[in-house]
Structure 1
């Protein structure tokens, strides 16, 4: 009998709050940003990959070094030719399984489980535009969860500092100009948990807010904006390091009005988010995006509460949303209201529909988003770096079906999630 979602949520939360396991996987086909390797094996202990290779004798030695018997079939996993990749890292998602990351501690647990069982081992929890006191309370919930489990990297504030003309599904009554006092209020409530904040740089205090957040260790993102090329460029020079979901909620490419997209593409410091669901961004533009900025495209989901759920009526904050054929729109005006995408699906689409190489597709869901916050190197938040299957990197590991790209088994920091 299959588990209920309640049982899965409890299991995921308990596992992530527990101690890491010793891991030994052999007979895999490794795919990560460094390439493809057949007959691949890895071992891990204490939440970190300890050794990798292709030689059988070296595998046996690596198993013994972490206290596992290489002949013990209950301790050693034979991948039997399946893919092994790093865990996926989603830096922009709002929820899943009928809950959002704004819904308090229980909502965070449920929504995270919905992404974790599909291979997203680390997630930045995106919070939508709300009254400032509500945003502050939601930030405190994220901060508390970060201290309890390794899969939550922090918060992304998608609002309230957005352009009214490019607000998308955000509540216009709650939009603000990022004056210094408001910025300081959010930073104080967050207690260091804000990883990213989307800002329209053309707002009266947009550039100064980018500087203020960057000085506090936050990575500002240019997005939900109507900025011209020069203003966007000023935003990146002021410290913005991300473009929020390129092509969506911004002025598009125009030969006489370049807008913010070329400013991001030209700047090697900028990580560019892309929603690869075929709806927010259609396939030709996804391919174009990869050509624009090789190794700087980060797949994100922008997933809302209806993710991995049937079509029907849902909420985005206080706003009513209707989901038809997996596409979420506001009931009030038909605006797109986030996606129902999983990174597992984004990677599969890239490989099987768009013809993007498995190496590039996996990189866009692993190493590139990790780099946006410096998590591809040892750091204070994740400890071990993320994004590769290499010694010293976090034991975030997926075993995946090579045809369908469906995730079969999941470890986050050495903890078995699925």
Structure 2
């Protein structure tokens, strides 16, 4: 059955934005994207307040939501978390794990792999265990391991093509061998949770098949103008287009002004908006888990439980549509630029830019319809209306 949508269409192609545009499909792929005046079929009447029609959002770094976390829940919980995010506009979701033992990671890969095969998830991201204990963030220090290429190769083989990215610190042992394993498997090398110096960082950013920066500014040294470091190298590499930098634009991990700064200096084509969300996304304040660690959420901010004070930030609680909305309305980023970082750039990072991340004839009918506040109204995945 044909579906024809009319409104402001943010195509993220050379066509640009269409103030009165149409997106039409009869199946999993788009067969018309263009101005309403050029559409040959029956048109819906123009709305007094036209909806905003966007490509489905793509989140390449997410630990869960809706009360369930990917590093610790069962298959039913994985499906619930993925469905929660899809119902709010994230049509392509990568499930992120945290540092863990080989046995624990294999168990999680097995559970998540079912959701990948069913199309609820688009892949698995291993955040660790080969990261720095000095910037562990919300990772259990007891589960951080020195770089072990044989272990990484076993995990990737066990994943059977479902692992799409791995976060590694440039200073971990055997870094070059780890990078080779990832390149041979066409897995994204994501650099982060690090205290690497500038020279080692520059070297690392030249090693991958495809390279990203795990949540820019977070879990790395601050920018210091007399002490070039990992962040210095990362911002320069992203500015050149050599890497794609993840940005958590939720108002907690980064100030809104910082988000605006990276858009204006690095550019949306080299930034990927992410949530880094965990089980508490969409849930009330309270106690949660993130892998093996206890987490407390207060005023929507999740932190590692620490009886002696304020613990480290432990992932986020926002959805991708909330991050997009904040980037536009609080950080003041143009909608097309923000949507590029929420859709087109992560699609390119995943090597799927000809299929998802934009609205163009022949591409997947993954669509988010939002109101003028960018609040999700309707979601389509592969041309099917998503009812969560």
TM more than 0.5: yes
Query: 1:376 pairs with 327, 347, 353, which one?
Result: 353
The equivalences for 1:313-392 within 5 A come to: 313-332=287-306, 334-377=311-354, 385-392=355-362
Deviation for aligned residue 1:252: 1.7
Q: Distance in 1 between matches of 2:261 and 2:161?
A: 36
SS of the equivalent of 1:256 reads: coil
In structure 2, do the counterparts of structure 1 residues 22 and 261 end up closer, same or farther at CA, with 3 Å as the change threshold?
A: farther
Displacement of 1:412 in angstroms is: 1.0
Superposed displacement of residue 37, structure 1? 0.9
The answer to whether the 8 A contact 2:27-2:384 is kept is no
SS in 2 for 1:346: helix
Aligned to 2:218: 248
TM-score between the two structures when normalised by the length of structure 2: 0.93
In structure 1, distance between residues paired with 2:2 and 2:186: 34
Contact 1:41–1:59 under 8 Å retained in 2: no
1:296 maps onto 2:270 in alignment: yes
Q: Secondary structure at the match of 1:90?
A: strand
Question: What's the CA shift string for 1:23-55, capped at 9, x where partnerless?
Answer: 2112x0012433321110011133111112224
Are residues 1:25 and 2:5 paired? yes
CA distance, structure 2, for counterparts of residue 196 and residue 315 of structure 1: 23
Shift of the alpha carbon at 1:176?
0.8
Distance 1:417 1:136 in 2: 30
- Separation in structure 2 between the aligned mates of residue 40 and residue 395 of structure 1, nearest angstrom: 15
Partner of 1:18: none
1:287-330 Cα distance to aligned partner (Å, 9 max, x none): 12112311211100000100000011111122111100000011
Work out the CA distance in 2 between the residues paired with 1:401 and 1:175: 43
In structure 2, do the counterparts of structure 1 residues 42 and 78 end up closer, same or farther at CA, with 3 Å as the change threshold? farther
Counterparts of 1:42-57 in structure 2, within 5 Å, are 42-56=23-37
Partner of 1:125: 95
> 1:83 — aligned with what?
52
Per the alignment, residue 168 of structure 2 pairs with: 199
Paired residue for 1:96?
65
Q: Equivalents in 2 of 1:125, 1:79: separation in Å?
A: 39
* Structure 1 segments unaligned to the other structure (5+ residues): 1-20, 61-69, 378-384
* Residue 105 (1) aligns with residue 75 (2): yes
Q: Secondary structure at the match of 1:366?
A: helix
Question: Where does structure 1 differ by over 3 angstroms across 4 or more consecutive aligned residues?
Answer: 76-80
**Distance of 1:79 and 1:154 partners within structure 2:** 40
Aligned with 2:368 (options 395, 398, 407): 398
Q: Secondary structure at the match of 1:152?
A: coil
- The alignment covers a number of residue pairs equal to 376
TM-score (norm 1): 0.86
SS at match of 1:368: helix
CA distance in structure 2 between the aligned counterparts of 1:116 and 1:154, rounded to whole angstroms: 14
- State how far apart, in whole Å, the 1-side matches of 2:48 and 2:369 are: 7
1:209-228 to 2 correspondences below 5 Å: 209-228=178-197
Pick aligned residue for 1:280 from 224, 239, 253: 253
Alpha-carbon distance in 1 for matches of 2:40, 2:299: 47
Q: Where do 5+ consecutive residues of structure 2 fail to align?
A: none
Shift in Å at residue 266 of structure 1? 2.6
Cα distance in 1 for residues equivalent to 2:93 and 2:29: 18
Q: 1:315 to 1:251 in 2, by over 3 A?
A: same
SS in 2 for 1:185: helix
